A and B are shown apart, each in its own frame.
Chain A
């Protein structure tokens, strides 16, 4: 674990503290002079020392103007040095006291002084020989070692047996509730046998035992219970993961962080470092370990913020960003795990300040998840595809004209769109400039003599007019068809298709309208495009096919539409297409836990053994044991096809057939 759970005690029960409280004149003096009281922790000094007046005086430190700020003189005249984490007597090179925590004391007239709790008396002669440790265990190894030191051999064995028994009994159990109850029983049982009276009397030692047992128990049962959580909550997970995918292209500017340009660019540059730090959450098996991963991410962010302390206003959007970019799909399960399985109840012991810090991180995760859930459309709203305020009067140049046409699509205004589709910009602008003087005079140019007229100029007009504007592109190569597919407007799509829109036109990222419809889950538009003969296997610049996009974003109805359409029209879909990272549709669906899509893909013989560029198969990415099982079952029935060399393929063209036909004649 990365944050240590610090030693803490109630000063009101520390005999030396109480002794000082009784000496009101000394107390007043401390306040007036702003001295520091270094208080050794309760169990570190002997009772005899209390009777020695020197004991208390040696722990009251007064600053001195002649010495550097870190140097103090105690009331018996020794020089004491305070560093970041420790206090020591200047003339004692070896003996060093660790500062455990600090508190403040206020008098009625609001004078105050500082109390520093230290792990042992400044002067060795007041100390006790044997002292219990002041730090907690930080991982499984330390926990096992700790139990070994503090409990008898017999108890150790009992704990081991209890865990072994548990695993045997629970082998066939997959029910979340049952597992949950049994894990809690197991934990309570272990705590019960491990804590003797000596341990229970020492609060801090007892806390340590609780943490150690949590490490040991969780180490044995984590995989099982976490899997059960993801299955139990699969719907919530799927819903959340779809949103994560949807928001995956988000930038920090979308989150109102433009006022911190330096930090945001640093975070952007180091997003991989932050991701790796966050992904440690996957490997941690204890609730507080998981929370400390988030704490570490927060600390790294503040490094980029020039070591200035970062407030919630900045932290929250950055964490939202990192979580969306993390490519980790177990946040909902993680949140439930932390809430339900902090076995040692550290999170609930708010009296201990570390508990409350953890609770704050938990609150933050909860807030972020809620924020992501309620801001699903953030990307859509921030999206700059459409200038929403543009009107026909604003059109001053060709780009404005395109913006205006896009706006017509956005408004789903078929009539307006149909009208302007046929008016080229040059005509439009001429009309507009002259319209003030003599309206509609020049518009005659673009109108045929009579609706049924067939003279040459009219014929020309008819032939050209339909497609005059339909394939115009904006700066980022977006076309009207893309916009209509993006905003899910089937009527407009068919209007554009009738007007000869180029169906497989790509935008700057190589997306066709079909890609956009698949990615956004617009099934009607998808069907229209497929019926309009869109190329079903075309890849984007990242080599993602429509099927990959639909699977990646969790749109099962689009996956079905693509596969069924291909089945019924002999337009063979490449179900095993791999994108630039080598991932197939099955990789993406398996990774996010989209069970229905996994099932469809497997039914249509998606290969479960294909490796991506880093050698991972869909099975390696399986979200939980249910998906793992489906894929495993499919693998058994999928017969390994023999590789066919390309030269063995024979392409038969129409002419070839004709020749053969003629030959036989």
Chain B
């Protein structure tokens, strides 16, 4: 993931999950939107967006994160394609609509699936969007069960309003910090492993392979070929 030797420059892949109409697209559009020229952005419609942010990390390092944000299809018929998109992602943003309990139930399912495919390393952030509805007094909303669930899954929880641009920057900065943390920890773990004897290192590599194989099997429910058929 590191693009050069100093650990100030990171590239992360973030997948965006959520049912249709919860405001997935508005959230990323809001985050990426205030850029001037559309010609030079490496974006593919609202399906793939890239934004680079510079900020000061907790240990006073100046860091630069290039965030590659991938939208996924929320429709039922495309559900089986999920794992192809999650592969190799460092973070996941799971969006639900606070006025729609069903959309939260979907999130539970996605988190399960994500952890199966990508493992526990992935930084998850659960986002309740459309908080403006509560402020306008249009609906009542009890956040505590959602917070509890997020805690049990070791995920952060954010309430946002894409409409009024509330908490969007915070959300992306926070997930970036989470990903940096996970990445650095992995890096040091690898470094110590590298220093110990080569036998252990080989074992680790094998571990990784079997893990991948498992995820492959999970994704295609019994089909013996690999998921894309290649």
List the one stretch of A174-182, A307-315, A606-614, A631-639 in contact with chain B: A307-315
How many A residues, CB 8 Å from partner?
Answer: 63
Is A357 part of the contact surface with B, judged by Cβ < 8 Å?
yes
Cβ distance B87 to chain A, nearest Cβ, rounded Å = 8
Contact yes or no, A10 B4, CB < 8 A: yes
In the bound complex, how far is the Cα of B172 from the Cα of A112, in angstroms?
A: 13
Taking the closest CB of chain A, its distance from the CB of B172, in whole angstroms, is: 9
CB distance from B45 to the nearest CB of A (A): 4
Tell me, in angstroms, the Cα distance from A309 to B30 when the chains sit together: 13
A72-106 near B? 1/0 per residue, CB < 8 Å: 00000000001011000000000000011111111
A371 to B230, CA, bound (A): 13
Q: Are A336 and B169 in touch, CB under 8 angstroms? A: no
Report how far A354 CA is from B37 CA in the complex, Å: 16
> What 1/0 flags go to B33-50 for Cβ under 8 Å of A?
011111111111111101
B42 partner, pick from A6, A317, A332, A373, beta carbons under 8 A: A6
A32: shortest Cβ distance to chain B, in Å?
Answer: 16
A361 at interface (Cβ–Cβ under 8 A)? yes
A107 touches B56 (CB 8 A): yes
A contact residues around B66 at 8 Å (CB): 351, 353, 356
66-108 of chain B: CB within 8 A of chain A? 66, 68, 70-75, 77-78, 80-81, 84-85, 87
Is the beta-carbon distance between B84 and A99 smaller than 8 angstroms? no
Q: Is B229 an interface residue (CB 8 A)?
A: yes
What's the nearest-Cβ distance from chain A to residue B46, in Å? 4
B230 & A102 in contact (Cβ 8 Å cutoff):
no
Q: For the complex formed, measure the closest distance between the CB of A126 and the CB atoms of chain B, giving whole angstroms.
A: 22
Q: Flag whether A561 is at the interface (Cβ < 8 A).
A: no
Instruction: State whether A332 touches B36 (Cβ < 8 A).
Output: no
CA distance A85 to B38 in the complex (A): 8
Query: What is the 8 Å Cβ interface bit string for chain A, positions 182-214, against chain B (1 contact, 0 not)?
Result: 000000000000000000000000000000000
CB-CB under 8 A for A298 and B44, given A106-B173, A311-B24, A367-B84: yes
Residues of A within 8 A of B52 (CB): 101-104, 353
Interface segment, one of B5-13, B138-146, B151-159: B5-13
Task: For the complex, give the distance between the alpha carbons of A85 and B39 in Å.
Answer: 7
- In this complex, which of B9, B36, B55, B56 has the most chain A Cβ atoms within 10 angstroms of its Cβ? B36
A537 to chain B, nearest CB (A): 37
Residue on A nearest B33 in the bound complex, by CB:
A309
Residues in B with CB closer than 8 Å to A375 are: 77
A311 lies within 8 A of B25 (CB): yes
Q: How large is the interface on B (under 10, 10 to 19, 20 to 34, 35 or more residues)?
A: 35 or more
Quick one: given A84-B37, A313-B20, are A370 and B228 in contact (CB under 8 Å)? yes
In the complex the two chains form, what is the Cα distance from A106 to B53 in whole Å?
Answer: 7
Instruction: Chain B residues near A336: list those with CB within 8 A.
Output: 230
Question: A10 CA to B54 CA in the complex, in Å?
Answer: 11
Q: Does any Cβ of B come within 8 Å of A168's Cβ?
A: no
In the bound assembly, the distance between CA atoms of A298 and B56 in angstroms comes to 37
Beta-carbon contacts of A349-364 to B below 8 Å, as 1s and 0s? Answer: 1111110110011011
Q: Inside 8 A of B50's CB, which chain A residues have their CB? A: 353, 356-357
Per-residue CB contact flags for chain A residues 327-366 toward chain B (1 = under 8 Å, else 0) read 0000010011001000000000111111011001101101
Report how far A102 CA is from B33 CA in the complex, Å: 12
Query: Please, how many angstroms separate the alpha-carbon atoms of A240 and B73 in the complex?
Result: 23
A360 engages B47 (CB within 8 Å): yes
Return chain B residues, CB-CB under 8 Å to A84. 36-39
Q: Which residues of B contact A108 (CB under 8 A)?
A: 55-56
Q: Are A309 and B84 in contact (CB under 8 A)?
A: no
Residue in B11, B43, B71, B73 with the greatest tally of chain A CB atoms within 10 Å: B73
Q: Does A11 contact B (CB under 8 A)?
A: yes
Identify the interface centre among B34, B45, B71, B173: most chain A CB within 10 Å of its CB.
Answer: B45
Report the minimum CB–CB distance from A332 to chain B (whole Å): 7
Query: Which of B46, B55, B64, B77 contacts A309, CB < 8 Å?
Result: B46
**B3 contacts A by Cβ under 8 Å:** yes
Establish whether residues B228 and A335, one from each chain, have CB atoms under 8 Å apart when the complex forms: yes
Cβ of B51 within 8 Å of any chain A Cβ, yes or no, is yes
Interface centre among B9, B11, B37 (most CB of A within 10 A): B37
Across the A-B interface, how many residue pairs have beta carbons closer than 8 Å? 177
A299 vs B62: C-alpha distance in the bound complex, in angstroms?
36
Q: Which of A197-256 contact B (CB under 8 A)?
A: 236, 240, 255-256
A357-B43 in contact (CB<8A): yes
B133 within 8 A of A: no
Closest residue of B by beta carbon distance from A302: B45
What CA separation (Å) do A105 and B173 show in the bound complex?
11
Nearest-CB distance from A12 to chain B (Å)? 5
Answer yes or no: B170 CB below 8 A from chain A CBs: yes
Is A12 a contact partner of B8 (Cβ separation < 8 A)? Answer: yes
Residues in B whose Cβ lies below 8 Å from that of A114: 34-35
Taken together as a complex, chains A and B put the C-alpha atoms of A309 and B46 apart, in Å, by 5
Cα distance A332–B84 in the bound complex, in angstroms: 16
Do B29 and A309 touch (CB < 8 A)? yes
Q: Which residue of B lies closest to A99 (CB)?
A: B37
Whole-angstrom distance between the alpha carbons of A316 and B66 in the complex? 25
Contacts of B80 in A (CB 8 A): 370-371, 374
Most buried by B among A100, A240, A363: A363
Query: Is B217's CB within 8 Å of the partner chain A?
Result: no
Cβ–Cβ contact B9 & A369, under 8 A: no
Interface status of B182 (Cβ within 8 A of chain A): no
Output the nearest chain A residue to B16 by Cβ-Cβ distance. A312
Which of A11, A106, A256, A370 has a CB less than 8 Å from the CB of B229?
Answer: A370
Q: How far is the CA of A311 from the CA of B22 in the complex (A)?
A: 13
Q: A447 in the interface, Cβ–Cβ < 8 Å?
A: no
Interface check A658, CB cutoff 8 A: no
B111 contacts partner chain A, Cβ-Cβ < 8 Å: no
A650 within 8 A of B: no
* Closest B residue by C-beta to A313: B73
Q: Is A432 an interface residue (CB 8 A)?
A: no
In the complex, which residue of chain B has the Cβ closest to the Cβ of A203? B4
Contacts of B6 in A (CB 8 A): 12
Determine if A110 is an interface residue (Cβ-Cβ < 8 Å).
yes
Q: In the bound complex, do residue A332 and residue B229 qualify as a contact, i.e. CB atoms below 8 Å apart? A: yes
Known: A313-B74, A339-B230. A298 touches B45 (CB 8 A): yes
Complex interface: chain A residues within 8 A of B229 (CB): 236, 240, 332, 369-370, 373
CB pair B45–A315 under 8 Å, yes or no, is: yes
For A259, give the chain B residue with the smallest CB separation.
Answer: B20
B227 contacts partner chain A, Cβ-Cβ < 8 Å: yes
Residue A21 CB within 8 A of the other chain:
yes
Which residues of A, 286-316, contact B by the 8 Å Cβ criterion? 295, 298-299, 302, 309-313, 315-316
Question: A315 and B64: CB pair below 8 A?
Answer: no
A310 touches B84 (CB 8 A): no
- Does A116 belong to the interface (CB within 8 Å)? yes
Q: Is A115 an interface residue (CB 8 A)?
A: yes
Known interface pairs A82-B36, A110-B169; A311-B71 also in contact (CB < 8 Å) = yes
Contact in complex: B36, A102 (CB < 8 Å): yes
- The residues of A that contact B29 with a CB separation of less than 8 Å are 309
Could you tell me if B228 and A256 are in contact, using CB atoms closer than 8 angstroms?
no
What is the CA–CA distance of A256 and B71 in the complex, to the nearest angstrom? 18
In the bound complex, residues from chain A placing their C-beta under 8 Å from that of B40 are 6, 85, 99-102
> CA A598 – CA B73 in complex, angstroms?
40
Q: Which of chain B's residues have a CB closer than 8 A to the CB of A82?
A: 36
Q: 15 additional contacts, CB 8 Å, given A353-B50, A357-B43? A: A12-B8, A102-B52, A236-B230, A310-B46, A312-B47, A312-B72, A313-B20, A315-B45, A315-B47, A317-B75, A351-B2, A351-B4, A367-B84, A370-B227, A371-B78
Q: Can you list 12 residue pairs at the A/B interface with Cβ under 8 Å?
A: A6-B40, A12-B54, A105-B55, A106-B54, A310-B45, A313-B75, A313-B78, A316-B81, A350-B13, A363-B84, A373-B229, A374-B220
